[in-house]
Structure 1
Amino acid sequence: MAARIDHLVTSGTFALDGGEWDVDNNVWIVGDDTEAVVIDAAHDADAIFAALDGRTLRAVICTHAHNDHIDAAPALAARTGASIHLHPADLPLWQQTHPDRAPEEELADGQVLTVAGVDLTVLHTPGHAPGAVCLYAPGLGEHGTVFTGDTLFQGGPGATGRSFSDFPTIVDSIRDRLLTLPPRTEVRTGHGDGTTIGAEAPHLDEWVKRGH
């Protein structure tokens, strides 16, 4: 059976540097009828568990460790027995939310995670956070898919105005790691609507000029 992408939106609070903001997060489930991985277990472990619909959860993959992307990860892992995967450069951020519970697995650039016959290649894309990663699946969807977390959105890079972030670094990550993907690759983001690589590529210089 073919692998598919299931999507749900969960709501909660993003907290960093003493501020709090209400946010809606995209949660992505990649798998078939028997097994799956969750990309960014945000806010609501019960809703994510229900969306799994009895499938075996192989991993909880974190695109980065801002609290709104990981707050439900330990509860979901405890309920399913799945391991949590995070790039080690984001451990300081993780520990702000979960000081007593470390991820089991470290993500590394170039690593390939396979579920339901689909390969997800880890692309380390720092800038929004030191350990931010994207997950590229050329075999998923009609033209391939990349899950970008908060690195690339419809209309530009993720925010870099808070601790652990850097604008020149995120621009380099997008230029070197994402805009080199095929133009029709679907971009599935951490918040809001998706886009394609081809739709965003022409605007790189414009983002740099405005220091988005």
Structure 2
Amino acid sequence: MTVRIGHTTTSGTFSLDGKTILVDNNAWIVGDEHECVVIDAPHDGSAILDVVSGRQVLAILLTHGHDDHLGAVGSLWDATGAQIFLHPADRMLWDRVYPGVAPDAHLVDGKTLTVGGEDLHVLHTPGHTPGSVCFYLPSANAVFTGDTLIRGGAGSTGGSFSDSGALARSIQDRLLTLPPDTTVYPGHGDTTTITAESAPGRAATSA
């Protein structure tokens, strides 16, 4: 494996359905010594750029369209010029933060992106939002799950545009079928594994 996984946690707010809460978000930076992709762009672009450390950013990949996962997109784009990828089913959420400005490219199920010579596979995993996706990196036994799967169970489905049934199916059919030793890198909180989240009752739990 030629790529490494970098990380930063940033703090800010999440707003939906007239409510605003404080949250800590993970941003994951995947690449080699020359190039990388950024998975989610929460709150503080400068903290993410510190981990990028001067490498070429090939793309900013968004796991979904909630504002706490894309608030730093503008500053990262200004700094890097990297293309911004979002699943089109979450465009209505994007438009709440960046009205009149479109993402550069669509994420679709089965799409493969390459960074540092390694393939990153797009898995459409609707439920937390209609356009939620995960990114599977087989060479590192890693999957980046956004808010679809976090340590201890499924992501939340209490807000607008969420679907608990769809989320359960996405986790069961797209994530728990990955190799058991796959490390899960979520949008919030600590890493976990597919083995741990396959335990009875875990993935059915709404966080």
Bucket of the pairwise TM-score, normalised by the shorter protein: over 0.9
* Distance in 2, Cα, partners of 1:211 & 1:119: 30
**Whole-Å separation in 2 of the counterparts to 1:26 and 1:71:** 13
Q: Secondary structure at the match of 1:146?
A: strand
Between the aligned partners of 2:206 and 2:189, the Cα distance in structure 1 is: 21
1:4 aligns with 2:4: yes
Instruction: Tell me how far 1:202 sits from its aligned partner.
Output: 2.2
Q: Is the contact made by 1:13 and 1:21 (CA closer than 8 Å) also made in structure 2? A: yes
Task: Give per-residue Cα distances to partners, 1:95-147, cap 9 Å, x unaligned.
Answer: 0111122100000000001000111100000000000000000102xxx0000
The residue type equivalent to 1:108 in the other structure is V
Q: Per the alignment, in what secondary structure is the counterpart of residue 50 of structure 2? A: helix
Does residue 115 of structure 1 match 2:112?
A: no
Quote the residue 1:159 is aligned against. 156
Secondary structure of the structure 2 residue equivalent to 1:121: strand
Alignment of 1:68-83 (within 5 A): 68-83=68-83
Matched to 1:166, the amino acid is: D
**d(CA) in 2 for partners of 1:207 and 1:185?**
15
Q: Which amino acid in the other structure matches residue 94 of structure 2?
A: W
Q: Does 1:136 align with 2:136?
A: yes
Equivalences for residues 92-111 of structure 1 within 5 A: 92-111=92-111
- Counterpart position of 2:21: 21
d(CA) in 2 for partners of 1:101, 1:69: 17
Contact 2:125 2:171 in 1 (8 A): yes
CA contact (8 A) 1:74 1:101 kept: no
Residue number in structure 2 paired with 1:195: 192
Change in Cα spacing, 1:98 to 1:47, as seen in structure 2 (3 Å) is: same
Q: Mark the runs of 5 or more structure 1 residues left unpaired by the alignment.
A: none
| 2:50 is aligned with 1:53 | no
Runs of 4+ in 1 over 2 A off after TM superposition: none
> Structure 2: 5+ residue runs without aligned partners?
none
- Using structure 1 for the length normalisation, give the TM-score: 0.94
Does residue 172 of structure 1 match 2:169? yes
DSSP-derived class of the 1:139 partner = helix
Do residues 181 (structure 1) and 178 (structure 2) align? yes
* Deviations 1:36-86, CA, capped at 9 Å, x for gaps: 000001101111112211100000000001000001012201210100000
Identity %: 55
Residue identity opposite 1:146 in structure 2: V
TM-score (norm. length: structure 2): 0.96
Query: Number of aligned pairs?
Result: 207
3-state SS of 1:119 partner: strand
